[in-house]
Amino acid sequence: MAIKLETRIAVLCGGLSSEREVSLRSGKNCLAALIRLGYSKAILIDMGHDIAQQLTTQGIEFAFLALHGKYGEDGCIQGLLEILNIPYTGNGVMASALTMDKDVTKRLLKEAGLPVIPSVTLYKTGDRPSQLQQLETLHFPVMVKPNSEGSSIGMSKVSSLAEVDQALDEAFGYANKVLVEEFIAGESITVGVILKEGQHVTTPILAFRTKTDWYDLEAKYTAGMTEFILPAPFSDSLTHAIQETTLKAHNIAGCYGVSRIDFVVLDQDRYYILEINTIPGMTDLSDLPAQAAAMGIGYDELVQLILRSGDTTR
């Protein structure tokens, strides 16, 4: 479908995940940009269980996805939109579902020769003593994280096997699958991918220097806790290598239109992919808009590029 200024576009946001509040802010900003761009019939829909009915009764012809987390970023809404024959922005069902699972994503990237951190995957139904035994192969400290949450929720850094029990209880409160991953004492960074003139291109690298030990919930959502360095002060060769790896990971996961890939960088030669985000935040303070701005792409232009990724006649 060719998107026209009079197309009935719905910005889908809010939704039913733990990242609802951020998504509402992303959605409102994207809608304001679409209106400024002249898409006069664009509206906002806060996604609930009645979303199929909402889309149908409001005659929605195109969906701009500003949802994060469960049901929004995991292939569910994408599948529903496919069935309803409503085109949408960004990643399809498969890439969305796949990248929501950090463990499966890491296995796929590892098989393709891309750098990921050694980890063990544990299941809620598993027997705790044998789970703890499996962790003996890992070097401590480790990061214990729910396999499919965002915003650093349910995650903890653990320095010895004795402390793992509690961290596992916490993480299993959020997911049936938990990753126990070696902790890399490096720099946390993220790289965006956008679709420009039919080509996927990477943004400059954004580095986070936090007052906390790692980029946790507190650092993410408390003003002044994190210093953002854009572009990250890496050598040209390291920057280039990370950007190449980003594009490879984006393609291997089958991503399309937009993504933001998180890494930890240890030194000049060692960097590791943590995860792939398929619907990056679009608030005033979000990473992707800042990264786009650093390459001369303003917020409205970024929204236009994301919108175009859903144009099926492109």
Ligand X SMILES: Nc1ncnc2c1ncn2[C@@H]1O[C@H](COP(=O)(O)OP(=O)(O)O)[C@@H](O)[C@H]1O
Decide if residue 143 touches ligand X (CB under 6 A). yes
CA dihedral 18, 20, 25, 26 (to 10 degrees): 90
Supply the minimum distance, in Å, between the C-beta of residue 274 and ligand X: 4
| Among ligand X, Mg ion, none, partner that 152 touches (CB below 5 to 8 angstroms by kind) | ligand X
- Which listed range, 76-84, 113-121, 130-138, 262-270, lies at the site for Mg ion (CB under 5 A)? 262-270
Cα–Cα distances in Å, from 3 out to 29, 218, 240, 308?
19, 40, 34, 8
Supply the minimum distance, in Å, between the C-beta of residue 147 and Mg ion: 13
Looking at beta carbons only, is 52 or 228 nearer to ligand X? Answer: 228
199-204 long-range contacts, CB within 8 A, separation 24+? 200/247, 200/250, 200/251, 202/243, 202/246, 202/247, 203/288, 203/291, 203/292, 203/294, 203/295, 204/230, 204/231, 204/232, 204/291, 204/294, 204/295
Q: Which of 103, 262, 300, 311 touches Mg ion by CB under 5 A?
A: 262
**Which residues from 198-237 bind ligand X, rule CB under 6 A?**
214-215
Q: Are 211 and 219 in contact (CB under 8 A)?
A: yes
| Among Mg ion, ligand X, none, partner that 33 touches (CB below 5 to 8 angstroms by kind) | none
Name the active-site residue from 19, 187, 216, 287. 19
Looking at beta carbons only, is 67 or 264 nearer to ligand X? Answer: 264
Q: For this structure, is 227 an active site residue?
A: no
209 pairs with which residues across the strands? 227
Decide if residue 151 touches ligand X (CB under 6 A). yes
Q: For this structure, is 221 an active site residue?
A: yes
3-state secondary structure of 144: strand
Q: For this structure, is 151 an active site residue?
A: yes
Q: To which residue do tokens 């060769």 refer? A: 237
The residue among 218, 216, 239, 274 whose CA lies nearest residue 99 is 274
Q: For this structure, is 260 an active site residue?
A: yes
Give me 219's structure tokens. 């650092």
Decide if residue 54 touches ligand X (CB under 6 A). no
Sheet arrangement for strand 187-196: 226-229, 199-210, 187-196, 258-265, 271-277
Supply the minimum distance, in Å, between the C-beta of residue 209 and ligand X: 11
| Among Mg ion, ligand X, none, partner that 51 touches (CB below 5 to 8 angstroms by kind) | none
Size, binding site for ligand X by CB under 6 A: 16
Q: Which positions are catalytic? A: 19, 151, 221, 260, 262, 275, 277, 281
Q: Which residues bind ligand X (CB under 6 A)?
A: 117, 143, 145, 150-152, 181, 183-184, 188, 214-215, 262, 264, 274-275
Binding site for Mg ion (CB under 5 A): 262
